[in-house]
Amino acid sequence: MSRPTIKLKKCRIIFFDLEFYVSENSRIENGFCYNPWDKNCKILGGSFLPANPEMDFDINESKVINKMQSFWLWDHHSELKVLEKIYAILKSALDMVHNAHNGMISPILCGIGITSSDVPIVFELFKRYKILTNSEAFSLQNKFRIVDLSQLSIATFNNPNNFLYPKSKSHILNKYLNSTKFDCAKSVWELYESKDYDVISTRCLDEVLATYKCYKLIKSDLDKFKNLEACEKKRIKLASQNQIGFLAG
């Protein structure tokens, strides 16, 4: 079966970032501490930007921020309510994209490092809170596609050996948004304990905005690489034609 024509107005790239809290007795010195099945951990919420690839990449920053939706534990008073909101925004995008393409094109989930954190976590939480059965969660997750900038950006860095390792958020920001810095995710724990909720929500919006900007800049770099490749092919073809002409003469 051939792939249907992509209707860009009916496509969505969901840029998002989640924030978590880990209580002291579940913290470790190194590595990722949050575990969706650990009752000492909480999902605090997150921010989501369902962007249309045709209309939402040439708008100003304030309009980008206005299109974001955020869901927070302190507003909804339970992890279940936050997760229901997250499920609703994902399902809405999925239904719209699938219905427009007979189920052959998927919405994209986009972030930095999300393949090993945010994406599996949110689907594990859907199971834990019985929003979905295990089978339904697997099926839903499989209906999305992921563009993880930590992987996509590998091609835009110098890689001196055969170990193509995903780039960290700090590497990507240093390259593309040098003036943008974020404290480590663990700093959110202290902010949550001190009830600095506005700082957490603003930080999350800024992270989603940074992801959106980096996506555009990485896409621009990839376009440059393809243009260079096309120019090199033309140069080789022209040189070959000139060589044939010289020999024929």
Pairing, β 41-51 against β 69-72: antiparallel
pTM score of the predicted model? 0.92
**What does the pLDDT look like over 72-97, one tens digit per residue?**
999 998 999 999 999 999 999 999 99
Better-predicted residue by pLDDT, 145 or 2: 145
Q: pLDDT value at position 28?
A: 76
Better-predicted residue by pLDDT, 159 or 29: 159
User: Percentage of the chain with pLDDT > 90?
Assistant: 80
Query: Per-residue pLDDT averaged across 126-155, rounded?
Result: 97
**What does the pLDDT look like over 180-220, one tens digit per residue?**
888 887 899 999 999 999 999 999 999 999 999 999 999 99
Give phi and psi for 44, each to the nearest 5: -85, -25
Q: pLDDT value at position 240?
A: 78
73 and 20 in contact (C-beta within 8 Å)?
Answer: no
User: Residue 12's closest CA among 45, 42, 57?
Assistant: 57
The Cα-based distances of 53 to 6, 102, 151, 217, 219 in angstroms read 11, 19, 20, 14, 12
Query: Per-residue pLDDT averaged across 115-134, rounded?
Result: 97
**Number of neighbours of residue 212 by Cβ within 10 angstroms:** 22
Classify the C-alpha dihedral 198-170-174-215 as positive or negative: negative
User: Percentage of the chain with pLDDT > 70?
Assistant: 95
